[in-house]
Homo-oligomer: A and B are copies of this chain.
């Protein structure tokens, strides 16, 4: 077990890993981020966001467009408000909801782009395991 000026891949990695710890995002921020992603981790809420990408809407409209019940939409909107992804305003007897800032637009767009990506097109190479996708 003697190593002097070890430049092996292992050693390089060890160094990188050691340097990683201090660069980790603060736990409080990570928790906030998790809450934001959590809000987007539901098809019903994504549908709501999708609807609001197009125009501001009343709760009832959203309910109609997405097919979720009124109380359900109301609950979802509250969660989305809590993480500041949507905001609302009153107009007459209606409460109009809309997306809050630009982050939500980006998150939706990037994720859709990722989700819509082809599944690495099952290339006809031998019969290597096609599960998941390791490489090498």
Q: Residues of A with Cβ closer than 8 Å to B? A: 9-10, 13, 16-17, 19-21, 23-25, 27, 29-38, 40-43, 46-47, 50-51, 54-58, 61, 64-65, 81-82, 84, 87-92, 94, 96, 100-101, 103-104, 106-108, 110-117, 132-136
Contact A132 to B46, CB < 8 A, known contacts A24-B65, A32-B115, A114-B101: no
Given contacts A33-B46, A106-B106, contact A13 B55 (CB under 8 A): yes
Task: For A9, give its contact among B35, B65, B91, B110 (CB under 8 Å).
Answer: B91
Given contacts A13-B56, A33-B40, 18 further A-B contacts (CB under 8 A): A10-B92, A16-B54, A19-B54, A24-B50, A24-B51, A29-B112, A29-B116, A30-B46, A33-B46, A34-B41, A35-B41, A37-B38, A37-B40, A41-B41, A100-B133, A103-B114, A104-B114, A110-B110
